Chain A
Amino acid sequence: MKQPAAGEIVQPFYRLIGLRLASEDLPILTEMLERHMEAFRAVEEMETAPSLTFRADWE
């Protein structure tokens, strides 16, 4: 199945969550999403354990 382009997802998504957008924001948000997904790929490949709280302590 063909992967949908980010642009096909973004507008319906905001409509679904009830957020009114300025029309000029849509193409920028679409490109931001594409760039984020690309950058996040390396994180997806990391081995991580679930960790929902953060403490700085090393002890």
Chain B
Amino acid sequence: MSELTDLTIAEAGRRLQERSVSSLELVEACLARIEETEAALHAYARVLADSAREEARIADRELAAGRWRGPLHGVPVAVKDLCYIRGVEAEAGSRAMAGFVPDHDATIVVRLREAGAPILGKTVTHEFAYGQNIPPTRNPWDLAMYPGGSSAGSGVATAVGSTFAAIGTDTGGSIRVPGSINGIVGLKPTYGLVSRYGVVPLSGSLDHAGPMTRTVEDCAIFLQAVAGYDPRDSGSAERPVTDFRHGLESGIQGARLGLDHRYFLGSGVMDAVASAFETAIEVLRGLGAEIVEVRIPELDLSTVVGLTILQSEASAYHKEVLRTRLDDFEVGTRLMLEFGQLIPGTQYVKALGARTVIADAMRRSFEVHRLDALVSPTLPIPTVLREQSVGDFLGGGGERVDLSGLLKHGICGNVTGVPALTQPCGFDEDRHPIGLQLFGRPFGEADLFRLAHAYEAATPWHTMRPQAEKYLAA
């Protein structure tokens, strides 16, 4: 990484304000980094160099004129290739979308433009964010391993500094999984906080869009720019947006953190993950937090409930394209979309009812135990071999991994709608990052940022980057 691309958003924003660096210099530094890394890592589906330079020049003129839009003004970012940018091909990682050019920006892109952030390009996603194919993106920590998904490109580009931050989307963990695997911060916001208008849907009632950054403060800055009510998104929450950096530095003395040991640390959790997580818990205790053992048995059903909703909604959305362009889908995506047609409507309705029961159980646990957050490892394992990362439709066979194991820790956040943040908390013996996950109260993102920022300030993990020689020589 160059000195410039290693800056946090907060640092870059301050330097832009004091005019010790220009937005164009930041964009050029990221483009140089893209040039250096893309041959090996394939994080970008499309680089928008010319428009990013033009947006940077506009930001520089505004900053010179004293028209400061906020801490993201002039800081280059990237968006997942599910988000519409007017006039730019949106392929969502699928041949079935090849050649589609939207005539409008996604709301999230509009808000990034309003914040003055140049957009470097669109990052690679699994096909339609379904997580059923192997994306071309490589894991910068270990090229043989899965880079996470579906927001694979956003996670990798943020980790290696070919962007300062990126938009990801999360339907069952797709921000937090690549966040954890790439050793960065990722937030699935509360359902309804960030608009999905102009973002290709996977499952309308489980989809979320959110930031992927290198620090917690950057995550708060990014969220501030993109959060807020949007009448064009039927799931959008009509409520005021709070200051997400409020109280960021005020520590966690007396915070009560719930841990459902049985659900999150039961079978399937690798020793390296359990060990890094237990160490993180000790750090949090040392900072003044109290760890409270809780039991939420309803979480056991969150994977089957979430998948029933996801598969039904995804198949409904893609129904017509499945009939007309069946051969354009990757095999795994095609099977999942075909399968969703088989789920009875009565089960979909039952799953929606069960979702409410699971969300109520989560709420009761927060209330009864007076919790500030729930904590867990983000994933039960650090990552898997790249070839093992495709869905195992028959279960248990060969060397493939049952991806429902990767969903278990994450999809309960989508089912309940609560905010969930991942941040790095260590490595396994092969130097694959491990993530710590915090679940908060709905619209309690500022509390999550306060907790995560205190942990980050007490640990070195967020400063560690993948070693360039591991991927630049490839």
Chain A residues in contact with chain B, CB under 8 A?
Answer: 10, 13-14, 17-22, 25, 28-29, 31-33, 35-36, 39-40, 42-44, 46-52, 54-58
Contact = CB atoms under 8 A, between A and B. Distances in A.
A43 B350 contact: yes
Contact of A48 (B192, B205, B353, B393): B353
A13 B358 CA distance: 32
28 contacts: A17-B341, A19-B323, A22-B334, A29-B342, A31-B393, A32-B335, A32-B342, A39-B304, A40-B308, A42-B300, A43-B304, A43-B351, A43-B354, A46-B301, A46-B354, A48-B354, A51-B355, A52-B349, A54-B205, A54-B356, A55-B237, A56-B359, A56-B416, A56-B418, A57-B192, A57-B237, A57-B442, A58-B363
B415 to A, nearest CB: 9
Given A25-B335, A43-B308, A56 B354 contact: no
A9 to B, nearest CB: 9
A14 B190 CA distance: 37
Contacts of B191: 54-56
B330 to A, nearest CB: 13
A51 B339 CA distance: 24
Contact of A32 (B192, B351, B393): B393
B350 A29 contact: no
B441 interface: yes
Q: DSSP class of B's interface residues: helix, strand, loop or mixed?
A: helix
B322 A56 contact: no
Interface centre among A31, A36, A48 (most CB of B within 10 A): A48
B357 interface: yes
Contacts of A47: 357
User: Which are the 5 A-B pairs with shortest beta-carbon distances?
Assistant: A56-B417, A48-B353, A56-B191, A51-B356, A56-B442
Contact of A56 (B192, B338, B342, B394): B192
B339 A32 contact: yes
A33 B349 CA distance: 17
Contacts of B342: 10, 13, 29, 32-33, 36
Interface string B182-208: 000000001110000000000001000
Contacts of B274: none
A14 to B, nearest CB: 7
Contacts of B237: 55-57
A19 B305 CA distance: 25
A29 B339 contact: yes
A1 B343 CA distance: 23
A17 to B, nearest CB: 6
Nearest to B311: A36
Contact of A28 (B205, B304, B393): B393
B4 interface: no
Contacts of A29: 335, 338-339, 342
Nearest to A33: B342
Given A20-B323, A43-B301, A51-B352, 5 more contacts: A42-B301, A43-B347, A43-B350, A46-B350, A55-B191
B164 interface: no
B461 interface: no
Nearest to B394: A31
Given A39-B304, A54-B352, A48 B357 contact: yes
Contact of A44 (B190, B326, B350): B350
Interface in B368-398: 393-395
B443 interface: yes
Nearest to B304: A39
A18 to B, nearest CB: 7
A42 to B, nearest CB: 6
Interface string B298-334: 0011001100100000000000001100100000001
A26 B158 CA distance: 40
A56 B356 contact: no
B65 to A, nearest CB: 40
B353 A19 contact: no
Interface centre among B342, B349, B355, B394 (most CB of A within 10 A): B342
B353 A36 contact: no
Nearest to A21: B338
Contacts of A50: 349, 352-353
Contacts of A46: 301, 350, 353-354, 357
Contacts of B301: 42-43, 46
